[in-house]
Amino acid sequence: MQVLLRLDKVCLRFGRRQVLKDIDWTIRKNESWAIAGASGSGKACLTKILSGELRPASGELIERGEKCAAASVRRQKYIRLGFGGEEKARIRGSASGSFAAQVF
């Protein structure tokens, strides 16, 4: 399948606090992903990097074969992000929040 977005060794820091470290992820056309984890584990930060709202401290985002650093109008057209929230996760028996990503 066609690779739409790839994260290569992506890291995110807020001051001295490391939020994400060495994230490698390949997102292909027509895939659906769920991101789950404990509160404060970096789920929202990862989705903000995917949407272009945040820039990683290091690493690369490669969109359709080209390096990108900032928000992409193209990316926002084919990646849909939704928040499940901790309440919905608790209903399913998990104590963590979750996000869903749909790629078109």
Residue 45: both structure tokens together? 């930060």
In which domain, by residue range, is 43 found? 3-103
- CATH number for the domain spanning 23: value is 3.40.50.300
3-state secondary structure string, the chain? Answer: CCEEEEEEEEEEEECCEEEEEEEEEEEECCCEEEEEECCCCCHHHHHHHHHCCCCCCEEEEEECCEEECCCCHHHHHHEEEEECHHHHHHHCCCCCEEEEEEEC
* pTM recorded for the entire structure: 0.70
What are residue 74's phi and psi, to 5 degrees? -60, -45
Per-residue pLDDT of the chain (104 residues; tens, 9 = 90+): 888 889 999 999 999 999 999 999 998 888 888 888 888 888 888 888 887 788 889 999 888 888 875 555 455 555 666 655 554 444 344 444 555 555 44
The total domain count for the chain is: 1
